[in-house]
Amino acid sequence: MPESVVGRVFSLLSAFRPEDRTISISELARRTGISKPTAHRLVHQMAEWNVVEVTADGVRVGMGLFELGLLASRPVDLRAAASPFLADLYEATGETVHLAVAEGTDVVYVQKLEGRHGPPTASRVGGRMPAYCTGVGKALLAHAPPDRLAAVLEQGLHRRTPRTVVARGLFERELTRIRETGVAVEHEESSTGISCVASPVIGDNGEAVAAVSITGRANRIDTSRLAPAVRTAALGISRSLGTTGARR
Amino acid sequence: MPESVVGRVFSLLSAFRPEDRTISISELARRTGISKPTAHRLVHQMAEWNVVEVTADGVRVGMGLFELGLLASRPVDLRAAASPFLADLYEATGETVHLAVAEGTDVVYVQKLEGRHGPPTASRVGGRMPAYCTGVGKALLAHAPPDRLAAVLEQGLHRRTPRTVVARGLFERELTRIRETGVAVEHEESSTGISCVASPVIGDNGEAVAAVSITGRANRIDTSRLAPAVRTAALGISRSLGTTGARR
DNA sequence: GCAATGCGGTCCATTCAGCGAGACGGTGTG
DNA sequence: CACACCGTCTCGCTGAATGGACCGCATTGC
């Protein structure tokens, strides 16, 4: 439980979950360990900024925080540069298209175009998944600074589905293959029934600044057929970002 | 200049502008009136939560705030429900599609699908425009609670382009027409060279919870031809939200 | 080279914004 | 009625927060 007001404010905001519609001040207090009167006071102060909205049913994250979040130049610029390429990919395949960046040992999805006949995927704009078992994550890790990869390996490769790769040797061999081919494939490693093919968007320093992917039903999509399209989009985005992009 | 820490935190965050990539701590202090050491301290506290990122070039809004902003259930649920309808509209017309909600006397854009041959529009996801001179805004105002419309009229109708409607009588007559037709048209009222056609997404209480629009070049798009498609999308979104939707 | 300007960052005596245990009134449930 | 839970309030206490002053470094202009 943080001692500073800043820490408490963001502890409260971080206590909201994607599935919450509204939650009570008492529940916020419980989740954070902040005393109820303090939580009450901070919530009402935040409500003055529309950061949260206090409704009859409870508190929800407010439109003001949505607006502030969209001032984040890194994801916003990336979305803008990637937008036409993602739209092309979406139109060409009809599958779900993702754009993600690396954050710590996770990926954060910054854009998602929902396919019309795809499966429901666990991903969500602004949401996180572990990097090691997702297509975009592996594409990002293949071109990540060594400390990020080290952090992932130190955290461990934990089985999420029967198909998750948890053997370190296999995992590193796969990253090598991704570096050679420019494409990462995910076969039901994070979610059963879901496959995807991803490609890294390489920045100036040769590291991945983002990854783009197509996701679909494991028993329907042909990842090898989709790979060149995804790779092409990634290269286009890289060029659009004004970087030299991947040389190979 | 707020006295509370909460106020100062959000005053600092609100000082970022969409066109900023990074800004210096000194500039943040100048924009907010907060003393430099205090701004410095608060920025570094926020950086611990990834709400801002301190880079060699200055401070930028961080990925953590992007993630928190996307916990706002109101825009996120709306985007999810509207997603297939917006995609259809985008595919059918190839023009820029917007989804917006009312906030005070403004609209806030919660989704935007960028047309391939459309003009650059001033709108931005998470950004605001005045309601009175935008298609989505007028659609929202036509079905707004009386106090919202009163606030807009009290604030005044200010000319932004030669085509902006600033006569109160004309404006109110237009809202009446929108209520009858279910469609709002914007002819270069907010930006020269831009036209759009919008339709309100009506909620349970007969008020608009959102508006959807198609935007394009004023000299190219045929708003009367597009109106039924936009209206259809709005009705579909309303139904998808589980509301009774507009009866007429 | 020197002066001026601006940056991020630090210091520390002071102070008042922030705190929370406890209490209260209201609501819902069995 | 008893119980559980909610949001809200109180007020003496205190330590987290404050900012004027200052520093070293970098850049710019003369």
Q: Which CATH number characterizes residue B154's domain?
A: 3.30.450.40
pLDDT digits (tens, 9 = 90+) for A45-64: 999 999 999 998 999 999 99
Please say if the pLDDT value at position B121 is more than 90.
no
For A3, the closest chain B residue by CA position comes to: B45
Residue B110, amino acid: V
Cβ neighbors of B224 (< 8 A, separation 6 or more) are none
The domain in which residue A14 lies consists of 5-68
Calculate the alpha carbon distances from B131 to A163, B14, B101, B105, B136 in Å.
Answer: 51, 21, 10, 6, 7
Q: Where is pLDDT greater, at A189 or B76?
A: B76
Same domain, B103 and B138: yes
* pLDDT tens track for B237-246: 999 997 544 4
Of A69, A101, A116, nearest to B65 by CB-CB distance is A69
State pLDDT tens for residues B9-54.
999 999 999 999 899 999 999 999 999 999 999 999 999 999 999 9
Q: Are residues B100 and B197 in the same domain?
A: yes
How far is CA A188 from each of CA A121, A125, A218, rounded to the nearest angstrom?
Answer: 12, 20, 7
Specify the pTM: 0.94
Dihedrals phi, psi of B29, to nearest 5 degrees: -65, -40
Q: Supply the pLDDT for residue A189.
A: 85
Last residue of a domain, one of B68, B83, B114: B68
Assess whether B109 and B171 both reside in one domain: yes
| Same domain assignment for residues B228 and B118 | yes
> What is the Cα–Cα distance from B136 to B97, expressed in whole angstroms?
11
Helix (H) or strand (E) holding B237: helix B223-240
Picking from B49, B50, B125, the nearest residue to A70 by CB comes out as B125
Residues B98 and B64 both lie in one domain:
no
Q: Which amino acid is at A222?
A: D
Q: Is the CB of B5 under 7 A from strand D?
A: yes
Q: How far is B57 from chain A (nearest CA, A)?
A: 13
* Shared domain check, B192 and B82: yes
Question: Can you tell me the distance from the alpha carbon of A169 to that of B185, in angstroms, rounded to the nearest whole number?
Answer: 61
Q: Express each pLDDT in A98-139 by its tens digit.
A: 999 999 999 999 999 998 877 788 899 999 999 999 999 999
Q: What is the pLDDT of residues B133-149, one digit of tens each?
A: 999 999 999 999 999 99
pLDDT tops 50 at residue B206: yes
Calpha distance A236→A213 (Å, rounded):
13
Cα angle for residues B175, B181, B184 (degrees, 5° grid): 55
Is residue A246 assigned to a domain? no
pLDDT of residue B120: 81
Q: Which residues of A touch B69 (CB under 8 A)?
A: 61, 65-70, 72, 126
**What is the rounded CA–CA span in Å between residue B91 and residue B99?**
15
How many whole angstroms separate alpha carbon A140 and alpha carbon A208?
Answer: 6
Residue listed under structure tokens 């005070």: B104
SS3 call for A205: coil
Distance between CA atoms of residues A58 and A20, nearest Å = 10
In a domain, B247, yes or no: no
The domain that contains B50 carries what CATH number? 1.10.10.10
The fraction of chain B above a pLDDT of 90, given in percent, is 80
Instruction: Give the number of domains in chain B.
Output: 2
Using the CB atom, is residue A20 less than 7 Å from strand D? Answer: no
Nearest residue, CB atoms, A63 vs list B7, B68, B108: B108
What is the predicted ipTM? 0.94
Question: Alpha-carbon distance B124 to A33, whole Å?
Answer: 37
User: Which pLDDT value is given to residue B1?
Assistant: 84
B245: in domain: no
**According to the model, what pLDDT value does residue B244 have?**
47
- Residue B14 in any domain: the answer is yes
- Are B39 and B32 spatial neighbours (Cβ–Cβ below 8 Å)? yes
Q: Is A247 within a domain?
A: no
CA neighbor of A111 nearest in space, from A89, A142, A141: A89
- Strand nucleotide closest to residue B34 (CA to C1'): D19
